[in-house]
Amino acid sequence: MNKLKQLLLSFIIIFISFNINAGASDDVKTSSDDYETSTFDDEIYDPLEGINRAIFGFNNVADKVILEPAAKGYKKLPSPVQSGIGNFIKNLKLPLVAVNQLLQGQGKNAAESTGRFLVNSTIGIFGLIDVADDLGLEQKEEDFGQTLATWGVGDGFYVVLPLFGPSNVRDTTGMVMTMMTDPVNAYAVNQGESWAIPLRTAANAVDQRSKIIDEVNALRDNSVDYYAAVRSSYYQNRKAAIMNTDDDILTPLPLISIEFE
C-alpha cells in the first residue's frame, strides 16, 4: 500500500513539474529579424545543457564501443533473421500502441493495431512474420509521450538519458509509463523471468540502430556540434510523430531565397 502511495506521489510531482516546465519551454524566444525565420525554434529549452552534454558524451562512447559494432554485426545476419527479430519486437509493442491510439481517440487505428497483433501473433508465428502488412493493416507507432502531447502536455526541458539517449520531461515520463504498464513486461515479471526485460530493450536498441547506421555516421562525422544536431533531430522527429505527419508538406519549410545563386 505504501508503495502505491509513493507511486501516486511521484506521478503527482511529475505532473506538477510538467506545468512549470512546459511553461518555461514556451518562453523560448527567437529573433524576428533573422530573415523571417522566427517560426523556427533555434533554441530548444535546455537548462541542463552542461549535464546533458556530459551524458551525451558518455552515450556517444557507449554507442561507438558497444551499440554500433553490435548493430553492424546484426546487419550481417541473413535478412530473414533480421526481419524476423524486428517483426517480433515490433509485435510485442502493439498492445500498448493500441492503448495509446485509443487514448488519443484514434479508434480505427486502435482496431487496426489490435488486428495486426492478433494476425501476426497467430498466422505470423508469434510475430516473426508480418502477415498483417500484406493484409493492409499498416504499422503505426504511438506511445505515452505522444498521448500526453495530444492531451496538451508541453515538452518540458530537454534531457539526455544515460544509454536511452535524447528525450524531454514529457517523453521520459511516457517512457516510464510504458515500462510500468507494458503487459509483456508485466507477464515476464509475473513468471519470474525479469531478465527478459533488459534483453528486450537491448535487442530493440540494436535493431533500431542497425537501421540508421549510415545516417548517424553522416551526422556524427559532419557536425560542428553533434550534440545540437541530435537535439534538433530529436525534436523534429518527435514533432512529426506527435502530429502524425505522413505528409512532409506539414513539416516547417525554411524560407530560402535562391535569387543570387
Partner 1 sequence: MYFLRTFTVLLLFLFPINAEANEVKSWLKKEIDKIIYAYQNDGLPNENKFLMIEQTINNNFAGSGIAKFVAGKSWNGASKDTKLEYIKLFKRHLALSISSMMQGYSNQNYDLTYSSYDERNKVTLINMEVFSNTGSIQVTWRVKKSKERFFIIDLLVADISLVVTKRSEFNSMLKTVNYNLGEFNNILSAQNDSSYQKLIN
Q: Which residues bind partner 1 (CB under 8 A)?
A: 31, 33-35, 37, 40, 42-44, 79, 82-83, 86, 211-215, 217-219, 221-229, 231-233, 236-237, 239-241, 245, 247-249, 251-261
Helix/strand/coil for 160: strand
Residue 66 carries which DSSP code? I
Residue closer to partner 1 by CB (options 82, 201) is 82
Residue closer to partner 1 by CB (options 5, 76) is 76
Quote the least distance from Cβ 228 to partner 1, whole Å.
Answer: 3
Q: Residue 6: is it exposed, middle or buried by C-beta count within 10 angstroms (0-12/13-18/19+)? A: exposed
Helix/strand/coil for 131: helix
CB 178 within 8 A of CB 70: no
Quote the least distance from Cβ 158 to partner 1, whole Å.
Answer: 12
Q: In 104-259, which residue ranges form alpha helices assigned H by DSSP?
A: 107-122, 131-134, 144-150, 169-181, 183-190, 196-210, 213-221, 226-243
Query: Which residue do the cell numbers 557507449 mark?
Result: 62
Quote the least distance from Cβ 258 to partner 1, whole Å.
Answer: 4
Quote the least distance from Cβ 52 to partner 1, whole Å.
Answer: 12
Residue closer to partner 1 by CB (options 194, 251) is 251
SS3 content of the chain, % helix, strand, coil (to 5): 65, 5, 30
Residue closer to partner 1 by CB (options 67, 99) is 67
Cell matching residue 145: 509521450
Q: How far, in Å, CA of 145 to CA of 179, rounded?
A: 12
Contacts 24+ apart (CB under 8 A), 252-256: 252/39, 252/40, 254/37, 254/40, 255/35, 255/36, 255/37
- With residue 59 as reference, give the H or E element that holds it: helix 49-62
Residue closer to partner 1 by CB (options 27, 248) is 248
Residue closer to partner 1 by CB (options 163, 213) is 213
Quote the least distance from Cβ 73 to partner 1, whole Å.
Answer: 14
Quote the least distance from Cβ 176 to partner 1, whole Å.
Answer: 25
Residue closer to partner 1 by CB (options 27, 214) is 214
Quote the least distance from Cβ 19 to partner 1, whole Å.
Answer: 26
